[in-house]
């Protein structure tokens, strides 16, 4: 049996219908996991989005829920027939606006999803695992900008720095109970908002490529592969760690000649 075989494991992923989330779902499914996909889309919209990727729909259960609301998070967990072995707190958002012009309403919305919702989901999962005396694994999606500020997304940078600390707190407090927590910090991924900016904003593309020592944008599959590793038995002795997979973008300031 392959060490990357996820057969018998149930994995919940929030934001699973997003541009990057779909690649993660596809990879985990291909390695035998049963996936509970959470998003805010209707079931019909989610199915249409999932069908755009070569996924085994028989291995996927969809649950619509607004995870920024505590009662919705509890409803999500209560609706599951089986408590997940792994919970991936992946849902997030970003908006590129100069810091001096950033609307407070947009700031609040971003922090609500990127920090509050992550805490609500991780807390609910941990509580259910503790009640069932079951081990569990939390996986948080952070970003290389948790440590290296990227211009025009300062609130996003701050949210990922907060998420890194949240992850380490869950790891430290719950390790004695058999609950682990780790994070993945991707770089500039060729998917979602970053991809749109790269395609439509020449200056952004020039700046982004300059920031990556490897010289090319991060394929979304490379992020999914790191999720696969962390979900597998190969990572069972890891907790409190951040796997930085950014093509070297965090090695030095991007404006350095």
Active-site positions read: 156
Specify the DSSP class assigned to residue 139: E
- Of 115, 123, 178, nearest to 141 (Cα)? 115
Which parts of the chain are beta strand (E)?
Answer: 10-14, 34-39, 60-64, 86-89, 136-141, 179-186, 242-245
CB-neighbour burial class of residue 249 (10 A; exposed 0-12, middle 13-18, buried 19+): buried
Cross-sheet strand order for the sheet of 86-89: 60-64, 34-39, 10-14, 86-89, 136-141, 179-186, 242-245
For the chain, how far is it from start to end, CA to CA, in angstroms? 48
Contact status, residue 46 vs residue 149, Cβ threshold 8 Å: no
* Cα angle value 103/109/112 (rounded, 5°): 140
- Of 146, 145, 227, 158, nearest to 194 (Cα)? 145
User: In whole angstroms, how far apart are CA 216 and each of 141, 158, 206, 208, 225?
Assistant: 21, 25, 11, 9, 18
């Amino acid at each position: 049996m392959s060490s990357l075989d996820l057969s018998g494991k149930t994995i919940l992923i929030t934001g699973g219908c997003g541009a990057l989330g779909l690649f993660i779902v596809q990879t985990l499914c291909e390695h035998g996991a049963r996936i509970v996909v959470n998003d805010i889309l209707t079931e019909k919209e989610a199915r249409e989005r999932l069908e755009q990727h070569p996924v085994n729909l028989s291995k996927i259960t969809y649950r619509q829920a607004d995870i920024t609301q505590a009662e919705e998070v509890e409803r999500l967990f209560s609706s599951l027939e089986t408590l997940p072995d792994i919970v991936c707190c992946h849902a997030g958002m970003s908006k590129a606006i100069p810091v001096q012009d950033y609307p407070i309403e947009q700031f609040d919305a971003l922090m609500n999803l990127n920090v509050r919702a992550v805490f609500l989901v991780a807390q609910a999962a941990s509580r259910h695992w503790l009640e069932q005396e079951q081990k569990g694994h939390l996986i948080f999606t952070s970003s290389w900008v948790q440590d290296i500020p990227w211009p025009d997304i300062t609130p996003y940078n701050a949210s990922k720095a907060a998420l890194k600390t949240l992850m380490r707190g869950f790891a430290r407090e719950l390790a004695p109970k058999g609950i682990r927590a780790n994070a993945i910090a991707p770089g500039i991924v060729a998917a979602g908002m970053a991809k749109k900016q790269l395609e439509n904003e020449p200056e952004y593309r020039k700046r982004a490529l300059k920031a990556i020592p490897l010289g090319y944008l991060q394929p979304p599959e490379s992020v999914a592969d790191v999720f696969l590793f962390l979900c597998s038995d190969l990572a069972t002795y890891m907790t409190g760690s951040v796997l930085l997979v950014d093509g070297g973008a965090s090695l030095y300031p991007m404006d350095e000649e």
